[in-house]
Amino acid sequence: MKKTKRSLTLSLLLVLMLSLLITSCSTGPATTTSTPSAESNVSQETSQEEEFVLFSNLPEVDYTGETFKVIVEGDFRTTYMSVEFLPQETSYDTLKMAVGERNDLITEKFGIEFEEFRTTSDGQMVTDLTANAVAGISEYDMVMPFMSDAATLALEGYFFDLNDKSLAGMENIHLDMPYYDQGSVRDLSVANKNYFVTGDLSLLALACTHAIIFNKDVIGERGLENPYDLVNDGKWTIDKMLEMCRGITADDDGTPGFGYTDSYGFLVNDNFVNSLYIGAGQRFTTKNNNDEPIIAVDSESAARVYDKIYSFVTDTTAVCQFSAANNGYNTTSAAAGKNIWVAALESIESKKALFRAMAIIDIFDQGDYECDFGVLPAPKLDEAQESYYNRVSTVYATCVAIPKNVRDPEMSAIITDALMQASTETTKRAYFQTIMQDRKVQDTESEEMLQLIFDSRVYDLASIYHWGGSNEADLNSISGFMNAIAISGTNTFTSQWQAIESSVKADMEDTLDAYYNND
């Protein structure tokens, strides 16, 4: 193949501008960082534009004869399996070709080949990497675990701090570049240490970003306001969404009682309450000036915002918590032998639902149905809120990390950075194009909404470490108690927080101690 240096000027200028917006948009109001105005953002973008040539910030090295080995989450994860490292037969053609193109660019430049190991069961990633670390085995040159698994391994001290330039090879990890998700660099660090991050290589971090879809025909037939205009005018709020939903929900299928064939304003699943909370400008945790996590849910503001969200999602005149076990939507779909997630897709298609909460990856399934739908960010708390925020559900969002026991830290760092920067114009672009072209989300407005959603992503440490409990569904965890309260039907926010506060804070202190002491 002919060797070329491919200029990424246009795309990286765009990504650089968007990364600046991320910095201003992704920090909730509880933090000490002020949010620049739109005018100041424009001036920053203009002043910081610069040309960048692919791989130009990496050393000239030749790894001919070497194979770069990576472990990724395998096919047993179905929807959430890795498709971004090597081309997968079951993947979309656009994406497969992009993966191959990116890898060819890196092989062409550095002479290295690629090999992946795919997990076959839950927990294998943690088990294998722990065993390797204990035995001092150098089996993988880079790893791509789900974030909560990465956190578990990071606390044991198994990963390099990608932010420490004094460590061998880590000077080749350029976390300040826009091909790393600057939101993840900022939000996932503790004590200024980044043991794992996401970037343009990590497609599941895009896929697991929460959003809302809507049926355009229902909007038109009911004479409702255009949601795109509401977003662009800063008027897409919880109250506005509730107002629109109330005119839709109806027991209209001819069978008494609400079931999955009735009409609903908003179909919301049980873990989207956290996303509404983040969308309303709140955080579970913020940070102090030492980049240490601080609990943010123990304030009057947090309680007040949660009260509003609780009232919203439990308003049965407008909203259906369709995945809740005791909900009529769930029970009737189960009685009919229908999976609730499929039923929700059908509700959008048949114009029986106006809005539905989902992760971006669910757009791929919705695209199999013949309906005209669009994509929206999570609503703001009110019009006074300056920006939109969209939570990344980190249960199945992947990241990258470099184990301390790799055979060649410099090679691992160089090729990891090369994978990130070469993904911008290949796999990341292809993922976006696949959504827009193959999945029937083809209007200009949805494209703009997707860009807004991706550029306003929020990672909260509470969603990764689940302090106080074991997972996002755990009532005793900081990441689970809000969702659980909403499903219960009784707003016990204050008393439940008081019940778990001490264990949450103790777990958070243990995490902080590990970050300071695991070097």
| Residue 193 DSSP code | B
**For residue 388, is it left (φ>0), alpha (ψ between -120 and 50) or beta?**
beta
pLDDT of residue 50: 62
Give the model's pLDDT for residue 32: 35
pLDDT digits (tens, 9 = 90+) for 254-307: 999 999 999 999 999 989 999 999 999 999 999 999 999 999 999 999 999 999
Query: Which segment, 21-35, 53-67, 322-336, is predicted with the most confidence on average?
Result: 53-67
The domains of the chain, with CATH numbers, are 61-207+394-455 (3.40.190.10), 212-390+477-517 (3.40.190.10)
Mean pLDDT, rounded, for 352-370? 92
Report pLDDT digits (tens) over 169-227.
999 999 999 999 999 999 999 999 999 999 999 999 999 999 999 999 999 999 999 99
Q: What whole-number distance in Å separates Cα of residue 56 and Cα of residue 68?
A: 20
Please tell me the distance from the alpha carbon of residue 327 to that of residue 323, in angstroms, as a whole number.
7
The yes-or-no verdict on residue 12 having pLDDT over 80 is no
Task: Reply yes or no on whether the pLDDT at 242 is more than 90.
Answer: yes
pLDDT at 33 over 60: no
CB atoms within 10 A of CB 423: 25
Q: What tens digit of pLDDT does each residue of 391-426 get?
A: 999 989 999 999 999 999 999 999 999 999 999 999
Q: What pLDDT score was predicted for residue 77?
A: 86
Least confident of 7-11, 361-365, 475-479: 7-11
Rounded CA separation 217/313 (Å): 24
**48-86 pLDDT per residue, tens:** 446 789 999 999 999 999 999 999 999 998 889 999 999
DSSP-derived pairing of the beta strands 353-359 and 210-215: antiparallel
Taking alpha carbons only, the member of 402, 77, 374 closest to residue 214 is: 374
- pTM score of the predicted model: 0.87
Over pLDDT 70: what percentage of the chain? 89
Mean pLDDT computed over 81-105: 93
> Looking at residue 42, what is its pLDDT?
39
Q: Which two tokens stand for residue 150?
A: 């990465």
